[in-house]
Amino acid sequence: MARILRLIAHVVSALSLGLLLSVGALGMDTPVPTCEKGLSDCSVRTGPFSGALPDPCGSLYITHVQLNVTHCTNMSDCKPCLIIKISLQDVDLAKSVSDGSGDDSDEEALLKVCYSFPTSTGYCRAVTFKRDYINMDQSFTYQLLLTETMDFETPIVVIAESKETYIYQNITIPDAKTVCPSDLWSLIIERTVPRLQADTENISNEVHLHLQNIPANQETVTWEMAWDDIRGQPERWPIGKSKTVIPSDLIAPCLCFLVWLQDKNIRGMYCPFTNQPDALKRMQHNVSVIMVESQWRSGNTGLSWNVTSPCKVKAEVRLCKKDMAGGQCEEVAGSRQMLETTGWITAHKVHWQAGEFLNSSSHPLLCVQVKTEGMVMFSEPQCPFEIHRVRWTLPILVGFILICLTILGVYLIGGILKGYVWRWLKDDDVRDAVGGVHVVLLSPPDDDERVLELLCYLGSSLQTLGFTVSLDLWSKGDLCALGPVPWLHSQLDSLKRQGGKVVLVLTQTTWTRAKEWEACISENNKENIKGVETDCAQSNLPPSRHVDVFGASLRCILQDSSQGKAGERFMLVQLDSLSPALPGGFPTVPDLFCGLHVYSLPTQCLGFLTELAGSKKITSSSARRRRAGVLQKASRTLTKRLSGFIAGKNVLNLPGIIQGSAGGQEEDSVETLLIESNLGTPPSSPDTVVSIIEWC
């Protein structure tokens, strides 16, 4: 039995020694308690837990425990010290006196103080003391001070236990900046905390952060951004680099950077954008306001607003109403509300404030604006009740696209049906086919302005197609300077060099003048044509401002006819006129016009243009088909222009000219009517049907 008792004693001794070693391993210095107000002989012992220390004893009980944190003045650097002030009173002083215990000031009392930490092992202190004297006042309070060295930003549970009482309190040790004096804090920051410097690049729209005061051993540096109560995600600084970049959109007056070494709790805070106007201006883009129509408890509807901001700043929110044109937004009187810095609520990584506009209802032109303190202008109006026409825009856009696709499809199908040739036909090809061909237009001896206007339009249309055109109406200066006969001969010389035709327009006056001129020639000596012309010119024919040029052209036609060259230099056109159809009454066609080709415009534009362009020696069949296609395109262009000019007017028909083929069939749009006495052959023309009618 004695052997068993000795074994138990050895085990208890070993456990006690182990516990003492573990407490020493914690690195905790045993504090020196301070006895105050009636206490003396204070001493302390340390144990890893409460059971390792003696139980509390004595007649004093704990009434109050006060915890304070300050920096430890007995250390070279800044360390937080937890000061525990314990107040005690006698359990029952009257009972002690009545029991005759007398002066028990030499009685030793013991109480325990334990510390609990969330991330490390706690420990306990056993404090013994004596009373200096017995105070007969039962309300007298004894005081005991205990000072403990702690770590920054550490939560602690303190438990004080006497024989009769058990009290516990919670406290969190503040950070070093709060505990340490300013001079000591600056020294700590200078020695142990990296620094950040921010430079804003306006060109690249970035903020460059420079890390300074990096430890020599290259410890891991952690940093994060903070906007008042909003904290960003901590990030590790790139190892071996002294600079990093953040977007300038994050800049705000309250933006601060926290930097610390990973194995230390001291953090440096740098706020480089405080009171900077540029930072306030950039933050304005991140301040937003929304407005909705809400139902109140009273049953009425109103307008509620919500403002979000990166910083807790003073701001203003107001209603404004746009004009009908959607330009200026005028403030609604009495709607402005102020936002104070104390009214912001932090949630979901943003600061926000909410409110209501009383006695207001939704309207399509009603908007809301916000402005932060320091800014001159309000933000862009937010108009949540504006009537958007997006729902109409999409169907209209889709319909427009479908219409365009349909038209494009029709044109594509039409182009395919027309064949591959037409894809290569352009205006330049038309000009190449007729380029250099000279056309002389002679106006009829009419005073009808409508006929002359139509003739001028024909000349302009031919010029557009690439012909070189001379019209006597456009050459009054040359006619006055040269005279009608020399001017006409100069034009004929151009035709000889360039190719082309002289075009005469058939009208009632042209028909009459030709018959009268032919009669005058028959009555005189035909051997002296020039003298006859003079006699005929001086006869009593009705006057005309173009009769001399017209007479000169008739003489040339007569010469060509007498030489067997009728139709080589001259041709006739019959225009759809604005005047009514001519009455009959001419038994025969003038012999002078026999052998000349006549075309009705705009219905026979293809044959007309083919004869003007002349016949070219083309050996390749593909080239001939291409030239035919080009002339067909030019024919459609000329037909369209002339038809548009004389649309809805009567057609000028000449008596004695048959319009159409035998059998009453409809006239072909490319048909050429030949006036000849000796069955001449018109120029080659693609797809041209020639009706030969003997007049003479």
pLDDT tens per residue, range 611-636: 888 766 666 777 777 778 778 888 88
Range with the lowest mean pLDDT among 93-107, 126-140, 243-257? 93-107
How does DSSP classify residue 268? Answer: E
Residue 464 pLDDT exceeds 70: yes
Percent of all residues in the chain with a pLDDT value above 70, rounded to a whole number: 73
Distance CA 351, CA 310 (A): 6
563-to-10, 338, 502, 558, 568 alpha-carbon distances in Å: 160, 108, 18, 9, 11
Sheet with strand 243-247: strands edge to edge = 195-201, 206-212, 243-247
Mean pLDDT along residues 386-412: 80
Distance CA 690, CA 668 (A): 10
pTM for the complete prediction? 0.41
* Residue located via tokens 């307008």: 303
pLDDT tens per residue, range 515-538: 888 888 777 644 554 444 444 444
Distance CA 31, CA 134 (A): 27
Distance CA 159, CA 157 (A): 7
Nearest Cα neighbor of 161 from 11, 50, 240, 3 is 50
Distance CA 163, CA 168 (A): 15
**Sequence-ordered list of residues with C-beta below 8 angstroms from that of 33, at least 6 positions apart, any chain:** 42, 43, 44, 127, 129, 144, 145, 146
Q: Tell me the CB-side half-sphere exposure of residue 218, using CA atoms within 13 A.
A: 5
Identity of the highest mean pLDDT range in 55-64, 311-320, 468-477, 552-561: 311-320
Residue 431 pLDDT exceeds 70: no
Residue 502 pLDDT exceeds 50: yes
**Sequence-ordered list of residues with C-beta below 8 angstroms from that of 370, at least 6 positions apart, any chain:** 287, 288, 289, 307, 315, 316, 317, 378, 379
Residue 95 pLDDT exceeds 70: no
Do 109 and 55 meet the contact criterion of CB atoms below 8 Å apart? no
Q: Would the CA dihedral through 99, 103, 108, 109 be positive or negative? A: positive
User: Strand, coil or helix: what is 275?
Assistant: coil
Question: In this predicted structure, what is the pLDDT of residue 577?
Answer: 56
Q: How far does CA 52 lie from the centroid of its chain?
A: 75
Looking at residue 123, its amino acid is Y
List b or e across 233-271, with b for residues whose CB sees 16 or more CB atoms inside 10 angstroms. Answer: eeeebeeeeeeeebebebbbbbbbbbbbbeeeebbbebe
Distance CA 19, CA 121 (A): 12
Looking at residue 526, its amino acid is K
Cα three-residue angle 454-509-692, rounded to 5 degrees: 85
Would you mind telling me the total number of residues written for the chain in this entry? 696
The strand pairing partners of 257, in sequence order, are: 225, 270
Distance CA 614, CA 499 (A): 7
Higher model confidence: residue 226 or residue 584? Answer: 226
Distance CA 24, CA 296 (A): 66
Mean pLDDT along residues 419-439: 59
Do 5 and 90 meet the contact criterion of CB atoms below 8 Å apart? no
**Sequence-ordered list of residues with C-beta below 8 angstroms from that of 121, at least 6 positions apart, any chain:** 26, 48
Supply 485's token pair. 């006969």
Do 400 and 607 meet the contact criterion of CB atoms below 8 Å apart? no
Supply 8's token pair. 């138990």
Distance CA 172, CA 95 (A): 41
Do 592 and 514 meet the contact criterion of CB atoms below 8 Å apart? yes
Q: 541 pLDDT band (50/70/90 cuts)?
A: very low
Nearest Cα neighbor of 445 from 516, 371, 509 is 509
DSSP assignment of 83-125: EEEEEEEES-HHHHHHTT----TT-EEEEEEEEE-SSS--EEE
Distance CA 156, CA 171 (A): 5
Percent of all residues in the chain with a pLDDT value above 90, rounded to a whole number: 12
Distance CA 207, CA 115 (A): 46
pLDDT tens per residue, range 177-233: 788 887 777 777 767 778 888 888 777 778 888 888 776 666 688 889 999 888 888
